[in-house]
Amino acid sequence: MSASPDQIVPLSASRSRGLAGRVRVPGDKSISHRSMIFGLLSVGETTVEGLLEGADVLATAEACRKLGATIERVGEGAWRIRGVGVGGLLSPESALDFGNAGTGARLMMGVVAGHGITASFDGDASLRKRPMMRVLTPLLRMGAEIVSSAEGGRLPLVLRGAADPVPITYETPVASAQVKSAVLLAGINAPGRTTVIEAEATRDHTERMLAHFGAEVTVTPHGDHGRRIVLQGRPELRPSPIVVPADPSSAAFPLVAALIVPGSDIVIEGVMMNPLRIGLITTLKEMGADIVELDRRVEGGEDVADLRVRHSALKGVDVPAERAPSMIDEYPVLAVAAAFASGETRMNGLDELRVKESDRLAAVAAGLAANGVDHRIEGNDLIVAGTERAKGGGLVATHMDHRIAMAFLVMGLASDKPVTVDDTGFIATSFPVFVPMMRGLGAEFA
């Protein structure tokens, strides 16, 4: 049985022989959340294949049920959603509990804001600490109201949506796909055009899914790295089949493990290669990683490829701040790769890492320190002084953060002494089969 966020399960990873084999990591978390939400918002049956059955997505599914959808699992990763359609949502009788899932909570705030219903939002201790005003500020402009909230608009929160939401033009002050998506989801039920302008392009799964379900959405470049997204409100969303590709943010863990464990040679199948998600692969290739894309093809409307990854001599690089949105969840494991590189890796512009499931900048720095890896933080930049090794031997505090747990378990597979993480329970939020899958490749976990 895999762990769950309800159990505290420590684990140690130790130096392993070369990893070998073929794996397919679970479905993309961002697309899985959106599959449930778009299923809810269309009338009729949406089928999903390859859904990530992690705790985060299951929380979003439960919230969709409370808002009126009928959702059933019909096989492994195969789900059917009968939606109620835009305008057909019910006020839920009990609180929508998103557990650890920022994406579920923030996207659903957009959905509720665009409907004349009232809903309570809650989550675990990690989610209760995370900022929500970034999403609520534009939603209030669209007509939603905060009935009550914890300090600073945090969860637990009661949100009253607008029966007639006002379409707005919103320039996002932070590079956040969640903020963009919340505004667009509220805009679905607004008459006229809702526009989101982002200075740095962020993952575009909401825009793609809007188009896939029949909405009129146009995306044009804005400035050097940004985009302007215009949604024509009140579309008739048609239920459409969804095939979820493998999550590049989960693939990142076996990928970096194979790069740092000598003798490794693995294949990770069907990894989504959406350009807004593969900043880590670009960076690792710059570091000298041997990653070969095999059989590039289109699956479920996204480019995917099988990635052959072999142990590589890595060198330190400078990672530009503008690349952050395309690899925002991958910095913890990149910091691990950087420890095993020769020379300094400088990761610029990591301010958003401070507001993830944990303060990831602090958690990564503490994990590196506990395992004898020389590093420093300068402003919002993390600099890791790579020496082609990590001493290990440390105990890493994961702070309810799945990616901190997985990143440091990966470190332990190549460090001099084992690395222990204090809790693997939260890995179940995004990658429930991580431990058995890595063991299958030869990872030594005890």
The residue among 160 and 203 lying less far from ligand S3P, judged by its C-beta, is 203
| Count of helix runs (H) and strand runs (E) in the chain | 13, 24
What is residue 252's three-state secondary structure?
Answer: helix
Instruction: From 171-179, 230-238, 260-268, 306-314, give the range in contact with ligand S3P by CB under 6 A.
Output: 171-179
Instruction: Report in angstroms the alpha-carbon separations of 240 from 45, 208, 209, 234, 269.
Output: 8, 12, 9, 17, 25
The residue among 19 and 407 lying less far from ligand S3P, judged by its C-beta, is 407
Can residue 274 be called a binding residue for ligand S3P (CB under 6 A)?
Answer: no
Question: Contacts with ligand S3P: how many residues (CB under 6 A)?
Answer: 10
The residue among 160 and 323 lying less far from ligand S3P, judged by its C-beta, is 323
Is 129 flagged in the annotation as binding?
no
b or e along 216-242 (b: 16 or more beta carbons within 10 Å of the residue's beta carbon)?
Answer: ebebeebeeebbbbbbbbbbebebbeb
Write the DSSP assignment of 345-357 as a string of letters: EEE---GGGGGSS
Write the DSSP assignment of 417-446 as a string of letters: B-EEES--GGGGGT-TTHHHHHHHHT-EE-
Can residue 250 be called a binding residue for ligand S3P (CB under 6 A)?
Answer: no
Instruction: From 170-178, 188-196, 267-275, 295-303, give the range in contact with ligand S3P by CB under 6 A.
Output: 170-178
Can residue 311 be called a binding residue for ligand S3P (CB under 6 A)?
Answer: no
329 is catalytic: yes
Can residue 424 be called a binding residue for ligand S3P (CB under 6 A)?
Answer: no
Catalytic residue among 56, 204, 329, 401: 329
Among 184, 328, 397, 435, which residue interacts with ligand S3P (rule: CB under 6 A)? 328
The residue among 162 and 177 lying less far from ligand S3P, judged by its C-beta, is 177
Q: Which two tokens stand for residue 394?
A: 């440390």
Can residue 115 be called a binding residue for ligand S3P (CB under 6 A)?
Answer: no
Q: How far apart are CA 91 and CA 317, in angstroms?
A: 51
Q: How far apart are CA 82 and CA 98, in angstroms?
A: 21
Can residue 109 be called a binding residue for ligand S3P (CB under 6 A)?
Answer: no
Amino acid at 166: V
Can residue 178 be called a binding residue for ligand S3P (CB under 6 A)?
Answer: yes
Collect all residues with Cβ–Cβ distance below 8 Å to 241 and sequence separation of at least 6.
46, 47, 48, 49
Contact residues: ligand S3P, CB under 6 A: 30, 103, 176-178, 181, 203, 328-329, 352
Catalytic residues: 329
Name the binding residues for 3-phosphoshikimate.
Answer: 29-30, 34, 176, 178, 329, 356
